Amino acid sequence: MMRVVLIDSGGANIGSVLYALERLGVDAALSAEAETILAADKVILPGVGAAGAAMARLRAHGLVEVVRSLPQPLLGICLGMQLLYESSEEGDVECLGRIPGRVRRMEGGEGLRIPHMGWNTLDIARASPLLQGVAPGQHAYFVHGFAAPVGPDSLATSTHGQPFTAVAGRGSCFGAQFHPERSAGVGARILENFIALEAT
């Protein structure tokens, strides 16, 4: 039986992620226990809030090195994706370093508000099993004021003032800057694709 574990990062979106998985027939567990996380087939790192507080919570539970070394497929959602990078401008925090790069404050632009809130299009940067069945230009739901720049690990991008990474992937580590659990069919498809991923 597939064991999916959500890391208890204290994020406000945990309940809705669990419910989104339940709708897909996945009974996921919520845990801050290293042993439970390490025994999972798939691991999800959700997150809402500030990078510093989230990293402090992971550190308090002794999970920083656990998440850094996880061999199984890992998906970071929203702040959880940002934590996968080396560092964040938000509080100048050292993060998990699973994906090279630094998360930066969004600049917005003429008539554009920060934080970026609402629906935006996904532009596919390169093929990935995570994005199977997701067409270029489909919409996802975003809520964030910081973002990862576009780079070699960008699977999909979006633009709000400037382009940023909407979906990241490096090896068995993936991130979605938007909220799949609030992104209707596109979000459900991405969660489904993640659950179906083969371990590398």
Catalytic machinery residues: 78, 179, 181
- Kindly provide the residue ranges of all beta strands, DSSP E only, lying in 47-178, ordered along the sequence: 74-77, 85-88, 93-94, 99-105, 116-121, 123-124, 139-144, 146-147, 154-160, 162-170, 173-176
**CA end-to-end distance (rounded Å), the chain:** 18
DSSP 62: T
How remote is the C-alpha of 72 from its chain's centroid?
15
Q: Is residue 166 within 8 Å of 122, Cβ to Cβ?
A: yes
